[in-house]
Structure 1
Amino acid sequence: MNRYSVIENKFPREILLLKGFPCVWGKCTFCDYILDNSISEEEINKINFEILEKVTGKYKVLEVINSGSSFELPKKTLHKIKEIIKEKGIEKLFLESHWCYKNKVKEMREYFEIPIIFKIGVETFDFKFRNEFLNKNAKFKTVKELKEYFDSPCIMVGIKGQTREQIDKDMDIILNNFNHSTVNVFVENSTKIKRDEKLVKWFKEKYKFLDENPKIEVLYNNTDFGVGD
Structure 2
Amino acid sequence: MERYNKITNKNPREIVLLKGKPCAWGKCRFCDYIDDNSRDIDTINDLNYEILSRVTGELGVLEVINSGSCFELPKETLKMIKDIIIEKQIHRLFFEAHWMYRKHLQKMREYMGIPITFKIGVETFDRSFREDYLNKHANFDSPEEVRKYFDSPCLMVGIKGQTKEMIDYDIQMLKMHFELGTVNVFTNNSTDVKRDPELVDWFMNKYAYLLEDPSVEVLYEKTDFGVGD
Instruction: Give the aligned CA root-mean-square deviation in angstroms.
Output: 0.5
Counterpart of 1:188 in structure 2 is 188
- How many angstroms does 1:137 deviate by? 0.4
Counterpart of 2:212 in structure 1 is 212
Query: Structure 2 regions of 5+ residues with no counterpart?
Result: none
Distance in 2, matches of 1:99 and 1:128, equals: 16
Matches within 5 A, 1:23-172: 23-172=23-172
- How many angstroms does 1:142 deviate by? 1.5
Distance in 2, matches of 1:121 and 1:143, equals: 12
Deviations 1:36-82 (A, max 9, x none): 00000011000000000000001100000000000000000000000
Figure out how many residues of one structure are paired with residues of the other and give that number.
Answer: 229
Amino acid at match of 2:25: W
Deviations 1:102-137 (A, max 9, x none): 111111011101000000000000001001100000
- How many angstroms does 1:144 deviate by? 1.7
Secondary structure, in 3 states, of the residue corresponding to 2:155? strand
Q: Identity, % of aligned pairs?
A: 61
Amino acid at match of 2:46: K
> After the TM superposition, which segments of 4 or more aligned residues of structure 1 sit over 2 Å from their partners?
none
Amino acid at match of 1:172: Q
Deviations 1:120-164 (A, max 9, x none): 000000001001100000001122211111100000000000000
Secondary structure, in 3 states, of the residue corresponding to 2:170? helix
Secondary structure, in 3 states, of the residue corresponding to 1:135? coil
Amino acid at match of 1:190: S
Secondary structure, in 3 states, of the residue corresponding to 1:100? helix
Amino acid at match of 2:148: E
Amino acid at match of 1:71: F
Secondary structure, in 3 states, of the residue corresponding to 2:122? strand
- TM-score using structure 2 length: 0.99
Distance in 2, matches of 1:142 and 1:175, equals: 14
Distance in 2, matches of 1:65 and 1:11, equals: 16
**In the alignment, does 2:43 pair up with 1:16?**
no
Distance in 2, matches of 1:61 and 1:74, equals: 21
The answer to whether the Cα contact below 8 Å between 2:3 and 2:17 also exists between their aligned partners in 1 is: yes
